[in-house]
Amino acid sequence: MACSRTETNQFDYVQYSLYDFTKDDLNAKMMLPNASAGIGTSLKPSVSHEIGGFRWKVEVGRNFTLHIEDYGDYSFRFEEFKQKLLKPNKFFEIEIVKETKNLLIYRRKVKGEFVSKKNARYFIYRVQRIGTSYYEIMNREQGDSKKVINFMYHSIQSLKSTNVNQ
């Protein structure tokens, strides 16, 4: 994936703004794309979360939606997801675009000889430990364009605990 880097090999978050999830009952912060990103993002992120719940929906305009779910101390979620994703499937063809220890970017397209390649959609999936809990982070079920996934990748890479000791 192409990305803009500075000389110190750090991503330049010029089209992003810092969002602190503390008021949303999550001790984390993340860089989210702002309106200058050119992907239909809005000026102000919207976070849906039930107090005491374990799921968050982060929306920045009509094209940028991330789902975050707290899995507590369960550390095997990434392996389970990957195993299920790569099982033979008669409806979709899955292609891994990028894989790291705890992150997958993959392309999914409908199988069939009468289906054009235009239906390929991209997905991002990560499990990240924040504090003592593991969090599953993914985009919306219908997928997104490669450009939007690139912005999501950099947002997810910036996710950090707000606690100084973690």
**Domain residue ranges in the chain:** 16-161
The third-level CATH classification (topology) of the domain covering 16-161 is Protein Transport Mog1p; Chain A (3.40.1000)
The percent of residues in the chain predicted with pLDDT above 90, rounded, is 70
Instruction: Give the tens place of pLDDT for each residue, 17-35.
Output: 999 999 999 999 999 999 8
What is the pLDDT of the chain when averaged over all its residues?
Answer: 88
User: What pLDDT sits at residue 8?
Assistant: 39
28-57 burial, b for 16+ CB within 10 Å, e for fewer? bbbbbbbeebebebeeebebebeeeeeebe
User: What pLDDT sits at residue 91?
Assistant: 85
The percent of residues in the chain predicted with pLDDT above 70, rounded, is 89
91-106 burial, b for 16+ CB within 10 Å, e for fewer? eeeeeeeeeeebbbbb
Could you count the other beta carbons within 10 Å of the beta carbon of residue 87? 7
Both tokens of residue 112? 């069939």
Cα–Cα distance measured from residue 73 to residue 147, given in angstroms and rounded to the nearest whole number: 33
Considering 24-38, 42-56, 68-82, the range whose residues carry the highest mean pLDDT is: 68-82
**Residues across the chain:** 166
Instruction: Give the tens place of pLDDT for each residue, 74-111.
Output: 999 999 999 999 999 888 889 999 999 999 999 998 88
